Amino acid sequence: MWALPGLPEVEPGADLAALIAAAGPDLADGDVLLVTSKIVSKAEGRILPATSRDEAVDAETVRVVARRGPLRIVENRQGLVMAAAGVDASNTAPGTVLLLPEDPDASARALREGLYRLLGVRVGVLVTDTVGRPWRNGLTDIAIGAAGVRVLDDLRGGTDSHGNELSVTVVAGADELAAAGDLVKGKASGLPVAVVRGLPHLLGEGSARELQRTAGEDMFRLGTSEAVREAVTRRRTVRTFLPDPVDPGAVRRAVAAALTAPAPHHTTPWRFVLLESAASRTELLDAMREAWIADLRGDGRSEEAVAKRVRRGDLLRAAPYLIVPCLVTDGAHHYGDARRDTAEREMFVVSAGAGVQNLLVALAGEGLGSAWVSSTMFCREVVRKVLGLPGDWDPMGTVAVGRPAAPAPDRPPRDPAEFIEVR
């Protein structure tokens, strides 16, 4: 592995393949070129005048992943997660910034084809850029564009030296090459291209996008504060569920989050009844249905109207898991004054609502959909009897839980200013 000497300063519109061919006329079949993205960007004219680097970062940002002070880790237009969207204010003239190549894979393909045309050699090309990494100090290079290189080396199904089957081992060979190449290129030595010889088995078809985890695969998609906001935003009322069983551990983790809600007088006014068996759910919903029908008929509703309203309970029947949150006011103060006693109970009700909201948000964070339905509040005695609850437990609705059967529709935008009064 060595760096190619003699490359001139790259200007916009330069034929980068020709410059590399002139600096490395002895390139051979099977070589892999590691090309710093900065010279690719310069050749492609990805230089912008910018009075503020932040403006360029904003323009290249698709999603903010994490923020701490002025530092932003974002997903950029190329799908890469990195600091400042990969916008670089170094190695470029003052008052300008460098953007990453528009399509790094296409840039790598163009270089590979150009070198074949000029030198008649079939090489692999990786376009590389410098990034930081979660949990690790220091910077390293990764592959952001690839052509003629197998970026991943899938060893699953093989065995190690002790005969153990490899079940999860997929090596990021392109990133390993990119990091190794930086050892000979350096960050400030003016050597933006390295050559690796002797690893022809890594040549093949590949795209650097294979190295990027999809949203569903990424367990660490968001920073801490962003994760909280995302979970709150993701919390939607889900009305149709898949029949898949719900992980009881996920529900218990959500209950643990619910228990962090504020409460009056240092009390713990929340209880959660988890209906994990189909028999318990059916028994409760059947009893509630009968109570609901009796109430509706007592209100003089027609049988058609009764049937229509009762059908609304199908949401709870379709859910594979139900939670009945209950309010317990055993720590409430009793003043003997109706006004103050009413306010005292309202404090506990507000606390119960905060606990339910924490529960719903935490369920969303676990990838579970939910719907809070007020039904149990209208037949508390029935619920207490069926579930065998103490008389001072007040059921505060029912939470249906499950995997959403379909994505929730977009929520209509709400302008916070319409809900705020400033004094």
Query: The domain spanning residue 347 has which CATH number?
Result: 3.40.109.10
Asked if the model's pLDDT at residue 161 lies above 90, the reply is no
CB atoms under 10 Å from CB of 154, counted, come to 11
Contact of 142 with 135, CB cutoff 8 Å: no
Contact of 36 with 128, CB cutoff 8 Å: yes
Asked if the model's pLDDT at residue 381 lies above 90, the reply is yes
Q: Which of 96, 47, 53, 92 is nearest to 74 (CA)?
A: 53
AA identity, residue 80: L
Strands 153-154 and 270-275: unpaired
In which domain, by residue range, is 153 found? 2-46+100-211
pLDDT tens for 227-284 read 777 777 778 888 899 999 999 999 999 999 999 999 999 999 999 999 999 999 999 9
**pLDDT of amino acid 224:** 66
**pLDDT of amino acid 156:** 65
pLDDT tens for 172-200 read 999 999 999 999 997 667 899 999 999 98
257 and 313 in a single domain? The answer is: yes
Q: Which residue has the higher pLDDT, 116 or 94?
A: 116
- H-helix segments, 366-418: 380-387
**pLDDT of amino acid 166:** 66
180 and 128 in a single domain? The answer is: yes
Q: Can you read off the two tokens belonging to residue 269? A: 């006014």
204 and 297 in a single domain? The answer is: no
271 and 365 in a single domain? The answer is: yes
pLDDT tens for 354-372 read 999 999 999 988 889 999 9
Average pLDDT over residues 340-351: 94
Residue 71 domain-assigned (yes or no): no
pLDDT tens for 292-320 read 888 888 888 888 888 877 776 678 898 99
194 and 304 in a single domain? The answer is: no
Q: Among the three residues 155, 186, 211, which one is the final residue of a domain in this structure?
A: 211
Residue 175 domain-assigned (yes or no): yes
pLDDT-derived band at 107 (thresholds 50, 70, 90) equals very high
Asked if the model's pLDDT at residue 394 lies above 80, the reply is yes
191 and 284 in a single domain? The answer is: no
**pLDDT of amino acid 371:** 94
